[in-house]
Amino acid sequence: MKRFIPALGFFLLVTSVLQILVKQNIIAESLVPAPETVVKTLIELKSDYVTSFSQTLWNTLMGWFLSILFGTILAVVFSLSDLLKRAVLPFAVFFQTVPIIAVAPLLVIYFGFGAPTVIASSFIVSIFPIIANTLMGLESVQANQLDLFKIYHANAWQILWKLKLPAAYSYIYSGLKISAGLSIIGAIAGEFVAGGGLGSMIDSARTQQRVDIVFGALILLSVMGLLIIGALTLAHRLIQKRRPYFTGDL
């Protein structure tokens, strides 16, 4: 708990300074709202924020879980077949380099407005770190360890499950942390064009010049990211506690 005190103190300092600057008209509230105004907006539009938050969270988690599932499967397949890796992996890199906001309109055409497009957007953005990190971890197995398993006539499944995946755990965990944040970005980009959630709320507030609504949504998005990363970190610590030999500290 003590390690969060500096961050909390810095947050309170920044919000206090910002409150003073806005109230003294040093910073225009039309550009940056006072923290007091943001809190009032969160309370006044509580029901809208709660509904939008739950929609964005659900779509983000669905896109993230799909990226974990398919990303891990693809990484395992690529680790077993160099031909497939050279044939398919460049396309995964291509999707990572194309801005999702440019692809999102196509997703609306394919999946329609609403959750399917948002989930697809979140999935596309977050899958590449899963593939790249998991594949890197699977290929990091030392040759002498692999030779030892072969000496004992371990089959491909035993090598994968008992050697490669445990060795790749730290890489997989890093990929999960990266993709968790990207999944939120992808979901918001999808909501800008497909509607729903906090992304739609931000886009609507933009047309109304309601920066207080935008800041309120940004705070909730930050909370969402902290919740997801916090749950992931807790799971990681539980795994380390129960299987200390399974992975090292990152």
Residue 42 confidence (pLDDT) above 60? yes
Which pLDDT band holds residue 148 (cuts at 50, 70, 90)? confident
Return the domain boundaries, the chain. 1-32, 33-242
Give the DSSP per-residue string, 70-90. HHHHHHHHHHH-HHHHHHHHH
Residue 246 confidence (pLDDT) above 60? no
Give the DSSP per-residue string, 136-171. HHHTT--HHHHHHHHHTT--HHHHIIIIIHHHTHHH
Which pLDDT band holds residue 1 (cuts at 50, 70, 90)? low
Q: Are 92 and 128 contacting, i.e. CB atoms less than 8 angstroms apart? A: yes
Mean pLDDT of 31-50: 91
Which pLDDT band holds residue 23 (cuts at 50, 70, 90)? confident
Residue 150 confidence (pLDDT) above 80? no
Would you state the structure tokens that stand for residue 247, as one six-digit string?
Answer: 């992975």
Q: Is the pTM of this model over 0.85?
A: yes
Distance (Å, rounded) from C-alpha 146 to C-alpha 15? 55
Of residues 182, 71, 191, the one with CA closest to residue 135: 71
Instruction: Give 110-125 pLDDT, tens digit per residue.
Output: 888 889 999 999 999 9
Which pLDDT band holds residue 244 (cuts at 50, 70, 90)? low
Distance (Å, rounded) from C-alpha 223 to C-alpha 246? 30
How many CB atoms neighbour CB 167 within 10 A? 19
The pLDDT, as a whole number, for residue 250 is 36
Determine the CATH number of domain 33-242: 1.10.3720.10
Distance (Å, rounded) from C-alpha 73 to C-alpha 196? 30
Residue 225 confidence (pLDDT) above 60? yes
Give the H/E segment covering residue 121. helix 115-138
Q: What type of residue is 184?
A: I
Distance (Å, rounded) from C-alpha 16 to C-alpha 11? 8
Q: Are 146 and 138 contacting, i.e. CB atoms less than 8 angstroms apart? A: no
Which pLDDT band holds residue 243 (cuts at 50, 70, 90)? low
Q: What is the mean pLDDT of the chain?
A: 86
Contact residues for 106 (Cβ-Cβ < 8 A; gap 6+): none
Which pLDDT band holds residue 182 (cuts at 50, 70, 90)? very high
Which pLDDT band holds residue 54 (cuts at 50, 70, 90)? very high
